[in-house]
Amino acid sequence: MAVNKKTGTMNSVYFGPFVVEDVETTWVHLNKPDLEYNTGHSVSVKINDTLRKELKDIMAQSGVKVIYGLKDSDGKKTEDYKKADSIKFKTKVYSDDGVQRFPNIYDVNGAKTTDTPFGGDTISAVVKPKAYEEGVSIYLQEVMVKETNGSSKVTFAKPKEEQQTVSFNKQADNDTKKDDEEDLPF
């Protein structure tokens, strides 16, 4: 519900989920919830022109003055979406249910992945705004990792056992030779 500025009455405003495309992450709590501030899973992203337009539309439709989670270039909270440099999308749904890792992370092909994005990675996110009396919160629903920033890739899946290709044991090397291979004289 949001307050109509002219009449002072409460209006029900419903927002459906929408996709925030190709934004750069600045801070990520998807591998484990943020326990220090008890905010659950979250991802902070830099605001691009497309996202800024979405924020403007949300403000116009809701009639409220504040979108929660906005920060300026100095990292300080701000209420002005025009001056904001980043925004945090979060959810406590999974952490309240006892789920450690945020379950809705997808790769570029749309398959669920165990990889977690980090700061500087490019993602797309499905988010859903919810209007309250004084402001709008934008909740995180899904994340798609579009591009990593070139740092080493980290995964939290169990590695598969691979066949040993190098051995210091000469007997093991001889045992793995195929019968059809022949020893060359040189």
* Domain coverage including residue 133: 2-152
Instruction: Return the top range by mean pLDDT from 46-55, 99-108, 162-171.
Output: 46-55
Structure tokens at 161: 């056992």
Residue 54 located in a structural domain: yes
Q: Can you give the CATH number for the domain in which 44 is found?
A: 2.40.50.140
Residue 172 located in a structural domain: no
The answer to whether 139 and 176 have CB atoms below 8 angstroms apart is: no
Residue 181 located in a structural domain: no
Tens of pLDDT, residue by residue over 72-120, are 999 999 988 999 999 999 999 998 888 899 999 999 888 899 889 999 9
More confident residue, 184 or 43: 43
Number of domains, the chain: 1
The pTM of the full predicted model, rounded to 2 decimals, is: 0.73
Residue 183 located in a structural domain: no
The answer to whether 13 and 63 have CB atoms below 8 angstroms apart is: yes
Whole-number mean pLDDT of the chain? 80
What average pLDDT does the segment 35-44 reach? Answer: 87
